[in-house]
Amino acid sequence: MKKKILNSLVFLTFLAIIIAGCRNAPKTQNQVVTTPTQEQLVQRGLYLVTIGGCNDCHSPKKMGPQGPEVIPELMLSGYPGDRPVEKPDVKVIKKGWNLLNSDFTAAAGMWGMSFSGNLTSDQTGIGNWTEENFRRALKEGKYKGLPGSRSLLPPMPWTDFVSMTDEDVKAIFSYLLSTKPVKNVVPAPLSLEGI
């Protein structure tokens, strides 16, 4: 009798777990999928750009009480094209060091010297890019998102974005296209021999 009661309790517990699981399972029929508004896309993109640290390298900075601070009117405009390029000591690089300039918009290492790109909505930035160009640059590391172009240079961490969803790429692109255009032609990279 005790064994029968115990078996019944086990069965009822198992049945309760199955029923609870079915009630909490995601719905697959009649599920409504909403498309985010443009404003929601822009806000999601701002969030992703912020937590992704894009301003760390793509925004010129000035020294403030807490260290380097983004210059608001130059936000996301990349290395200032009108700034003289100060070349680092190649001997240090050849010893295995990677170097950043004072506002992190230029980097040097065994690849040479690279300058962060203009991500604003200006034509000198990404203003004339397609979403596919942007996706290819971010997820495939292609310069200006052009098929067959050179790879993006360090320290751009494009390999970290390979698994990014297309929805997040769209959100970031939407946000960047909503930014204030800043006319800024970034210098071309230099080879190690050119430093």
pLDDT tens-digit map of 129-152: 999 999 999 999 999 999 999 999
**Residue type for 79, please?**
Y
DSSP code at position 174: H
**Residue type for 145, please?**
G
**pLDDT class of 33 with cuts at 50, 70, 90:** confident
pLDDT attached to residue 31: 74
Torsion sign across C-alpha atoms 103, 109, 112, 118: negative
Place of tokens 């290819």: 136
User: What does the pLDDT look like over 74-103, one tens digit per residue?
Assistant: 999 999 999 999 999 999 999 999 999 999
Q: Give the Cα separation of 107 and 62 in Å (integer).
A: 17
**How far from 191 is each of 90, 98, 141, CA to CA, in Å?**
11, 14, 18
Q: Return the domain boundaries, the chain.
A: 47-186
pTM of the shown model: 0.81
